[in-house]
Structure 1
Amino acid sequence: MDFLASLLMYSLVFFWGAAIGSFLSVVIHRVPAEQSLWLPPSHCPQCGHRLKPWENLPIAGWLSLKGRCSNCKTPIPIRYPLLEAVCGTVFLLIFLAFGVTWQTLGYWLFFSWLLALALIDIDTMTLPNPLTQSGLIAGLTFRAVVGFSTNGTFAGAVQAVMEGVVGAVLGLWLLDVIAIAGSYALGQTAMGSGDSKLAALMGAWLGWQNLLLGGFLACLVGAIAGGVGMALGLLNRRQPFPFGPFLALGGFIAAIWGNAIASLYLQLFLLTP
């Protein structure tokens, strides 16, 4: 593929991801409020102005409006174009890692669920059941498709689904055990039930091996962030903070680089050739 064709394809992938990021903004705002994702159409929450098609373009729409509603001039948070840019960038990273495959399509969906849940957790300290449950079902469906396409048999699909089921059950139990141990150590609730459901979702997509890696990374980064926050006086020991974003980060890293990390670990510590 020549340079111009590659540039066009990468640009299309980025803008497709940015468009999904724009839709995720709607999901993040409306799902916790139990509102329809489709009605009313995108509008200014201050004056109700319905966005015109060009105003709704990912990133470019916000820039053309100079970050303000065209009707009432209320500032539009920069979070919206940043979310679109991040989503576009990650979609491109996934495409570069897996190419035109079922893995790419599946991990685009997986990342979309992770990103929506992470930001909802930051906003509301909740992880809504409709998203965790639908994400788990989507993960098992993805594993069935990949298992069938890889082995060409129904048995291959069933085996892949069972690996996802094992990962989901392990994720649920693992986070429940961590929550119980943390609650005992702190003398208060250490983790919400939504975190274990998010871990189950991750297990359905990743299988048990990469779930363990993602969970380990989540705990490591979460502990570091909590320690830094307390050292800077931004958090106190008993102050709750959302764990969903750390799980989402761990799940994303495990999905994209999990096999490479596992191989590196084996080479460094088990001296495999």
Structure 2
Amino acid sequence: MRLVLIHLRVEFLVMETLVSAIANTFVFLFGACIGSFLNVVIYRIPAGLSLVHPPSRCPKCGHRLGKTENVPVLGWLWLKGRCRWCKTPISPRYPTIEAVTGIIFLFVFWQFGYTLETIGYCAFLSWLLSLSMIDFDTMTLPSSLTKSGLLLGLVFQAIIGWEKAAFSGIANQLIFGIGGAVLGIWLLEIIGYIGTLILGQQAMGDGDGKLMATIGAWLGWKYVLVGGFLACGIGSIIGGGAIILGILNKKQPMPFGPFLALGAALTLFFGNQIISAYVNLLIV
């Protein structure tokens, strides 16, 4: 009897491991596919192009990518980083974003499991990644993405509220999200005002406040404070280091959107631990 139980337990563990491996593989591949679409968003929205037409193609010769060439990550490796027809180099950033998106989706899945939060936060981080790369490339944060991200955040809060307590839950979660959005805008305005006084020039763009409002709509007032603090800290360290190394000068603008996105992502995954550590520090 004992041997039978051991055998059954081994079979269960093997099955559990197999199911977990399949789930993780699916999540990563799905994330990589979304990352492929994010590459389109990052390139086309600043250029004012349609996200749907024309289909993915080589920007040099116009060759439309085939099915095998469009496979996330593997398609770039298959082509050895060059267009199949004109041999123009294809930036390694494309497969990198695809792989990073897949990894992000895995982190969200590991943290939140089979829940609505996993779907919502995967979408949230996809928005943040797109906005970060656009800001890095163009020093702009398109309103179409910040506004749609804010709206989607409030829809997400309403869905989570309904799951918790029907109509009363929706009201509570919407207040939570709207409060976070408003605080996010105020927080960036204060930081921008102080930064302008210190630097003697405009420290924040209008898009940064909209992005912070989007983050607040998704994470709420408490986490938007933590995310803002982390963004300022990381941005100050990297910006200061770049100035010391001569990579930037004091008057040269630096995109702040990627730091806001990074602060929000870290807060999403480690917010409770950060707040607990801060409270314990104050008590000690």
Query: TM tier, shorter chain?
Result: over 0.9
1:253 and 2:266 are equivalent in the alignment: yes
The one of 192, 207, 212 equivalent to 2:220 is 207
Letter in 2 for 1:56: N
1:11 maps to which residue?
A: 25
Q: Where has structure 1 moved over 3 Å in runs of 4 or more?
A: none
Aligned to 1:38: 52
Kindly state the Cα deviation for residue 270 of structure 1 after the two structures are TM-superposed: 2.4
User: Which amino acid letter does the alignment assign opposite residue 210 of structure 2?
Assistant: K
Q: Is 1:56 aligned to 2:70, yes or no?
A: yes
* Equivalent-residue separation in structure 2 for 1:115 and 1:125 (angstroms): 14
1:134 aligns with 2:148: yes
CA distance, structure 1, for counterparts of residue 274 and residue 81 of structure 2: 40
What letter matches 1:143 in structure 2? Q
Q: Secondary structure at the match of 2:243?
A: helix
Shift in Å, 1:185: 2.1
Is residue 89 of structure 2 the alignment partner of residue 75 of structure 1? yes
Q: How many residues align?
A: 270
1:236-265 CA deviation, whole Å, 9 max, x = no partner? 111100000000000111112212222233
Distance, in Å, in 2 between the alignment partners of 1:8 and 1:267 is: 40
1:123 alignment counterpart = 137
1:47 aligns with 2:53: no
Instruction: Compute the displacement of 1:163 (Å).
Output: 0.9
Residue-by-residue CA offset, 1:166-208 (whole Å, 9 max, x unaligned):
1101111111121122122222111110000000000000000
What are the Cα deviations for residues 101-133 of structure 1, in whole angstroms up to 9, with x where unaligned? 011011000000000000000000000000000
Percent of aligned pairs sharing the same letter: 55
Q: Structure 1 residues 5, 250: closer, same or farther in 2, change over 3 A?
A: same
Q: What does 1:114-193 align with in structure 2 at a 5 Å threshold?
A: 114-151=128-165, 153-193=166-206
Considering only aligned residues, what root-mean-square deviation do their CA atoms show, in Å?
A: 1.0
Determine the C-alpha separation between the residues in 2 that align with 1:207 and 1:171: 9
Match of 1:231 among 241, 244, 247: 244
Pairing 1:269–2:279 present: no
AA in 1 matched with 2:94: Y
Is there any run of 5+ residues in structure 1 with no aligned partner, and where? none
Which is higher, the Rg of structure 1 or of structure 2? 2
With normalisation by structure 1, the TM-score equals: 0.97
Equivalence for 1:90: 104
Q: What TM-score do you get using the length of structure 2 for normalisation?
A: 0.93
